[in-house]
Amino acid sequence: MGLVVWEGVLILILVLTGFRKAVFNAVPRALRAAISVGIGLFIAFIGLVDSGIVRQGAGTPVQLGVSAPQLHLVGLVGWPMAIFGIGLLILVVLYVRKVKGAMLIAIGGATAVAVVVESFLKLGSKTEANPIGWMLNVPAMSSFSAPDLSLLGRVDLIGGFTGASGPSAVLGLLLLVFALLLSDFFDTMGTIVAVGAEGGMLAEDGNPPRTQEILIVDSVAAIAGGLGSVSSNTSYIESASGVGDGARTGIASIVTGTAFLLSLFLAPLVNLVPSEAAAPALFFVGFLMMAQVVQVDWEDPEEGFPAFVTIVLMPFTYSITTGIGAGFIAYALIKIVRGKAKEVHPLLYLVAAAFLVYFAQGVITWAASL
């Protein structure tokens, strides 16, 4: 947690010095569009996984539905998957009819059906012996209890370094902070571009308004995450679901934050919503964010290939940062090869070099341990 705090402090310094915003402005418009599309596919994939529609296969990385022939269960079987289908159907029907709050209504309706199904059938959680159970949480009421806040503020800012034995251990810690920094830095960039694009709030240059203020809040939140003994807080791409449903002024974010505070005390009510009921919103937002794909000139490999790398690696590696980093490296490399190195902003070269270190950190750590 101390390392998370240090990462937040470093990224706040980068924001206050203007470096983070300068890097943000150095990203070509085509790559920004690709980031939005890649994130859309990423959260659509999350929705499919959380609903159990896509699962790890027997002999394949992923597959459609259940694969348990020994139980005579193969494909799209089980009530939880049906709940996803019901929620998605409600959402699509309400959205095309331009009903306000379509996503929230769909989640609520699917949750109500899920609670009824679980109360009668007692499906329980998904396990190897019960592949048609609920994927993440069972839609059943549990007992109320006070939240455990004992980890708040329990942070050691120097213990991680003083406890490291040898240069390789220290290098490993520094690489960890670097990885956290890079992930936070570019996850946020991708998120605010994607959410801004979904809300139609980007300026002509492709940047969202008041970028500096957004980045400051995100950086302070990263520090707060470490102090709260959680991961480095950053802006979450799930915000696009609210924007897709009409949120524009920031009031939705205030309501969401208030609801999260209440959820500390109302966890049993929150747990009534199974992932299968919430996943349709994520899947549908992926569709909404695909609209940005037309901003890429796919006939020009200088734009098209880096955009393609960015888009496909986000869902395939389950990492926004990986997609952005690979896209930056591909963009800089192609420009150099085609004799157009001067067209690339110097900061983009710096970031591409940082991502090379990021991708090579496993090799670096291994070499240092020899």
Q: Is the pLDDT of residue 165 over 70?
A: no
Model confidence at 3: pLDDT above 90: no
Question: What tokens does 268 get?
Answer: 């049993």
* Total structural domains within the chain: 1
In the block, tokens 């888009």 appear at 311
Give the mean pLDDT of the chain.
87
Q: What is the pLDDT of residues 104-133, one digit of tens each?
A: 999 999 999 999 999 999 999 999 899 999
Give the DSSP H/E element, type plus range, for residue 244: helix 239-244
Assigned domain for 149 exists: no
Q: Collapse the DSSP code of 111 into the 3-class scheme (helix H, G, I; strand E, B; otherwise coil) and give the result.
A: helix
- Are the C-beta atoms of 274 and 135 separated by less than 8 Å? yes
Q: Does some domain include residue 353?
A: yes
Q: Are 135 and 52 in contact (CB under 8 A)?
A: yes
Alpha-carbon 272 to chain mean position: 23
pTM over 0.95? The answer is no
Residue 151 lies in a domain: no
The answer to whether position 230 is within a domain reads yes
Span 236-256, pLDDT tens digits = 777 777 887 788 888 888 998
Instruction: Let me know if residue 245 belongs to a domain.
Output: yes
Q: How many residues does the chain have?
A: 370
pLDDT of residue 163: 67
Per-residue burial over 80-116, b = 16 or more CB atoms within 10 Å of its CB, e = otherwise? bbbbbebbbebbeebbeeeeeebbebbbebbbebbbe
Q: What gap in Å lies between CA 216 and CA 75, rounded to an integer?
A: 46
pLDDT tens digits, one per residue of 291-306: 889 889 999 999 999 9
Confirm whether 146 is domain-assigned. no
Predicted confidence band of residue 264 (pLDDT cuts 50, 70, 90): confident
d(CA 367, CA 370) in angstroms, rounded, equals 5
Contact by Cβ (8 Å): 191, 239: yes
Per the model's pLDDT, the better-predicted residue between 326 and 147 turns out to be 326
Domain region containing 347: 2-140+160-369
Residue 158's pLDDT band (boundaries 50, 70, 90)? Answer: confident
Residue 238 in domain: yes
Report H helices in 127-166. 159-162
pLDDT value at 363 more than 70: yes
Helix (H) or strand (E) holding 54: strand 54-55
Is 147 contained in some domain? no
Q: Over 70: is that where the pLDDT of 322 sits?
A: yes
